[in-house]
Amino acid sequence: MLASGVPLDNITYSTLITAARRCRQFDKAVEWFERMYASDGVLPDEVTYSAILDVYAQLGMKEEVLALFDRARGSGWKPDHVAFAVLAKMFGEAGDYDGIQFVFKEMLEVGIKPNIFVYNALLEALGKTGKPGLARNLFEEMTAEGVEPNARTLTALAKIYGRARWGRDALQLWEQMREKKLPADNILCNTLLSMCADVGLVGEAEQLFSEMKDPDLGDVPKPDKWSYTAMINIYGSSGDADRALQLFAEMVESGIEPNIMSYTIVIQCLGKAGRIQEAVDVLEAGMAKGLKPDDRLCGCLLSVVALSSGDETEVILACLEKVRSNLVKLIRMLGDARVGVEDLRVELKGILNSAAPEVRRPYCNCLIDICRNHGYPSERAVELLRLARHYGLYSKIHTRKEEEWSLDLRSLSVGAAKTAFDDWMKTIREHEEEEEALPQTFSVYTGSSTHKFAQGLATAVASHLEQVGAPFRASDSQLGSFISSRDDLLSWLHTTMSSPDVAV
């Protein structure tokens, strides 16, 4: 057309821009849109605007999206459902609640009622901005308007309710969906199963999983590897090693290849149950099938090392050495009193640099647990903690205000939490000896998860405080918080530090 001198009209430009967008060649779409305006003076229509708005949103060009929207509205363009869905998705991914309110306002002004696609986009956006109450209100408005939800709608709500720990609300929606015989897909069912795992609804998850396995229920999808993994996670989190292992075996027998997450959960569960050899057998069977342990699975093996003892420890280390020999080398160094801190620093730094960011702190947690549980030289756990703090892994555990100093242990394992508390006490004593100003109040925060399967960090820390005789009492106003006054704490520290029989 260009070579023949045939002018490009609006339909041609819209087709080119839409095609480039669908092929995810966003730069080409922008190039054609800019040429449309600059070179040929062809005005876009509603199809063109909707397509290019989506392109700008996909490229993260929020300011360009809003500028184009305002310019188009000024020229008399009436946005369609596609355009509003694009805006809702963009604001949602940015966590911009004001932007979502803008979408509602604009739709009201142009007199457009949301369709299922706009409602789904708005619900997903509200989920990303952490507004479960507004999401529920929007869903009720949607059904009141006669718009029938689909599987994507319920998936968005299940994710929102799961994050808000509104498990019963999500399951109630599922029951309503089943009564209306609305079609479900694997994404929805697996989201519901994962939500049940997050909030500890074992019976409800078992009922849903049973329905998925029922051959007579044709409107419910059959379980896939993610369904099995979610159920294994439920049993693993509750410490039911037998059922987790049984379901894992059923998964394999059904011809569904477990993913690496399934292996990780089962091995972790068996390790916590003290069934070390079975954990090793599961790992070796997976590796024989081509399983390649990732950083998370290696972190799981580190936690099993911390829980093991005697010959079982050597069995786990032998497995770990096959995939992460540097971790085993560091563990051996930690147990050797002749190894200096500088050598430990170099080895730890290399391990952390090669590991994914999300596993670095869990690695250090497990290594500290290993030091404490296996009777390594007494200074090792503190040395590891301080090295990890040096690398920014525990940078937010200390807060100092004029009236209060606090220790936040929520991101630590039980062993690391005890180590951090003991080290904090020594630091406070040093400040007191140097006659530095100390606040009136000291607090330790462990958090207070409502998850029925959550590990009892608060219980473990409370037990440690009682064991060492530290004068911290549970806070009346904040669950998972322990408080001490300056006078009580310093009096205890003077007694503790002067006694050779008491170690903090």
Token digits of residue 333: 């160094």
Secondary structure element (H or E) that encloses residue 343, with its range: helix 341-354
CA–CA distances in Å: residue 16 to residues 64, 79, 180, 295: 20, 20, 42, 44
pLDDT at 5: 81
User: Residues 346, 321: one domain?
Assistant: yes
Looking at the structure, tell me whether residues 386 and 466 fall in a common domain: no
**Which residue range(s) make up the domain with 337?**
293-394
The reply to whether 437 falls in a domain is yes
Residue 468 belongs to some domain of the structure: yes
Q: Show which of 394, 415, 432 is a domain's final residue.
A: 394
Question: Could you tell me if residue 136 is inside a domain?
Answer: no
Which of 373, 394, 415 represents a domain boundary (last residue)?
394
pTM above 0.85, yes or no: no
Rounded Cα distance, 12 and 326, in Å: 60
Mean pLDDT for the stretch of residues 154-169:
78
What is the token pair recorded at 228? 């099995």
The reply to whether 410 and 467 lie within a common domain is yes
Nearest of 31, 30, 34, 36 to residue 13 by alpha carbon: 36
Q: Are strands 398-400 and 404-408 parallel, antiparallel or unpaired?
A: antiparallel
Q: What is the mean pLDDT of residues 414-432?
A: 94
Clarify whether residues 378 and 433 are in a common domain: no
Q: Which of 307, 294, 449 is nearest to 358 (CA)?
A: 294
| 8 A C-beta contact, residue 110 and residue 133 | no
Distance in angstroms (rounded) separating the CA atoms of residues 475 and 231: 36
What CATH number is associated with residue 415?
3.30.1370.110
Identify the CA nearest to 493 among candidates 484, 23, 182: 484
SS3 481: strand
Average pLDDT over residues 173-188: 75
For residue 255, the number of C-alpha atoms closer than 13 Å in the C-beta half-sphere is: 0
> Shortest CA distance to 381 belongs to which of 358, 410, 407, 413?
413
Tokens of 194: 């994962």
Phi-psi region of 290 (alpha: psi -120 to 50; beta: other; left: phi over 0): left
Same domain (yes/no): 383, 414: no
- 220 within domain boundaries: no
Examine residue 79 and state whether it is found in any structural domain, yes or no: no
Q: What is the mean pLDDT of residues 313-317?
A: 92
- Comparing 16-25, 153-162, 252-261, 453-462, the range with the smallest average pLDDT is 453-462
- Model confidence over 163-179: pLDDT tens digits? 777 777 777 777 777 77
pLDDT of residue 504: 54
Percent of the chain predicted with pLDDT > 90: 39
Greatest mean pLDDT among 45-49, 71-75, 195-199, 249-253 lies in 249-253
- Final residue of a domain: which of 394, 421, 454? 394
Report the domain count for the chain: 2
pLDDT attached to residue 39: 65
Looking at the structure, tell me whether residues 330 and 365 fall in a common domain. yes
Q: Is the pLDDT of residue 450 over 50?
A: no
What number is the average pLDDT over the span 98-115? 80
Residue 300 lies in a domain: yes
The span from the CA of 394 to the CA of 390, in Å, is 8
Between 200 and 471, where is the model more confident?
471
Please indicate, yes or no, whether residues 387 and 442 belong to a single structural domain of this protein. Answer: no
Task: Tell me the pLDDT of the chain averaged across its residues.
Answer: 85
Residues 389 and 317 in one domain: yes
Q: Which of 262, 257, 258 is nearest to 235 (CA)?
A: 262
Domain-located, residue 358: yes
Looking at residue 501, its pLDDT comes to 43
Q: Are residues 423 and 338 in the same domain?
A: no
Let me know whether 407 and 384 are in one domain: no
Residue 149 lies in a domain: no
Mind listing the pLDDT tens digit for each residue in 276-298? 999 999 999 999 988 899 999 99
Residues 369 and 303 in one domain: yes
Same domain, 344 and 298: yes
